[in-house]
Amino acid sequence: EAQVTQNPRYLITVTGKKLTVTCSQNMNHEYMSWYRQDPGLGLRQIYYSMNVEVTDKGDVPEGYKVSRKEKRNFPLILESPSPNQTSLYFCASIAKGQGGYEQYFGPGTRLTVT
């Protein structure tokens, strides 16, 4: 079954404690992306990756890092989390087809930073 998985699904942490949210896809897609969702602001792109070792900033990259060492995985790293990074995070894997692209989203990770 084609899917995007994220772990953990829920996380409560404290300010400054480094954390990683993993994302994995089994569809062999080249493009992957991270979003955060906050009430009233919709989904905003954090980082995206066009292929292994190729990443670029989205709209709200401050405070985040990513890596793409292999095609299937695209972890999101918060080196020093702060309370304003409390949010719902989604990873997406992107299929290029005829006439555009389709994004497949993971189930989400709800992060609380205290």
Partner 1 sequence: DAKTTQPTSMDCAEGRAANLPCNHSTISGNEYVYWYRQIHSQGPQYIIHGLKNNETNEMASLIITEDRKSSTLILPHATLRDTAVYYCIERGTASKLTFGTGTRLQVTL
Interface residues with partner 1 (CB under 8 A) are: 4, 31, 33, 35, 40-45, 48, 50, 56, 58-59, 88, 90, 92, 94, 96, 99-108, 110
In angstroms, what is the minimal distance from the CB of 16 to partner 1?
Answer: 27
In angstroms, what is the minimal distance from the CB of 56 to partner 1?
Answer: 7
Whether the bond between 8 and the residue before it is cis, its omega within 30 degrees of 0, is yes
Residue of 17, 19, 20, 22 whose CA lies nearest to 5: 22
Reading the block at residue 61, the tokens are: 């990259």
| Residue 33 vs 85, nearer CB to partner 1 | 33
